[in-house]
């Protein structure tokens, strides 16, 4: 038994290993998140599958989800996905400012703290 691996992720990995075919859909036809498939590919050293997940991850990033997805990539130890998330965050800094300006009260304060934290992380990485 392989812990913390859903059956769908394992099926997608096996399909890749046996056919060398890359998934056509982001969810690999299994209802997966890209981070989950990338984590599985990384764990089993399926390099081509892992590289295939990076642009899909990048395409799915939005101002409203990048912080959560960046945290998931970090928690999973997925460096290429982390780099893509940080790149998106840097490239869309103005959009984050606009979104923050439209919020109020505690939510605004929390968003500012998240942005300051991410900015500090970016500075430490450079």
Model pLDDT, residue 125: 52
pLDDT value at position 123? Answer: 52
Given a contact cutoff of 8 angstroms between Cβ atoms, the answer to whether 56 and 26 are in contact is yes
Residues 56 and 88 in one domain: no
In this structure, are 23 and 4 located in the same domain? yes
Tell which of 41, 60, 79 closes a domain.
Answer: 60
Distance CA 59, CA 49 (A): 16
What span, in angstroms and rounded, lies between the C-alpha atoms of 121 and 123?
Answer: 5
54 shares its domain with 94: no
Same domain (yes/no): 50, 74: no
User: What's the mean pLDDT in 1-25?
Assistant: 78
Domain boundary at 60, 77, 109, which?
A: 60
Of residues 108 and 53, more confidence is placed in: 53
Domain identity same for 125 and 69: yes
Full domain range(s) for residue 99: 62-126
Q: How confident is the model at residue 2, as a pLDDT?
A: 65
16, two tokens = 């890749």
pTM for this model (two decimals): 0.69
Contact 86, 122 (CB under 8 A): yes
Residue finishing a domain among 60, 84, 105: 60
- Residue of higher predicted confidence among 92 and 53: 53
Task: Examine the domain organization and report whether 50 and 67 are in the same domain.
Answer: no
Domains held by the chain: number: 2
Same domain, 124 and 75: yes
**pLDDT higher than threshold 80 for residue 119:** no
| Pair 123, 66 in one domain | yes
Residues 42 and 9: their CA atoms lie apart, in Å, by 12
Instruction: Tell whether 35 and 79 lie within a shared domain.
Output: no
**Distance between CA 45 and CA 65 in Å, rounded?**
27
Whether the pLDDT of residue 57 is over 80: the answer is yes
Torsion from C-alpha of 98, 54, 75, 33, nearest 10 degrees: 90
| 51 vs 47: CA distance, rounded Å | 6
Quick check: 101 and 93 in contact, CB under 8 A?
no
The pLDDT assigned to 80 comes to: 94
45 and 79 housed in the same domain: no
pLDDT at residue 105, rounded to an integer: 46
- Report how far apart the first and last C-alpha atoms of the chain are (Å, whole number): 40
């Amino acid at each position: 038994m392989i812990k913390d691996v859903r059956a769908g992720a394992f099926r997608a990995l096996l399909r890749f290993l046996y056919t060398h075919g890359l998934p056509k859909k982001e969810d690999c036809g299994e209802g997966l998140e890209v981070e989950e498939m990338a984590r599985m590919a990384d764990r089993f050293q399926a390099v081509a599958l892992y590289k295939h997940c990076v642009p899909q991850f990048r395409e799915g990033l939005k101002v409203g989800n990048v912080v959560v997805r960046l945290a998931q990539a970090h928690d999973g130890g997925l460096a290429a996905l982390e780099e893509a998330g940080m790149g998106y965050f840097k490239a869309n800094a103005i959009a984050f400012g606009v979104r923050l300006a439209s919020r109020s009260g505690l939510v605004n304060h929390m968003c500012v703290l998240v942005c300051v934290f991410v900015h500090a992380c970016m500075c430490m990485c450079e």
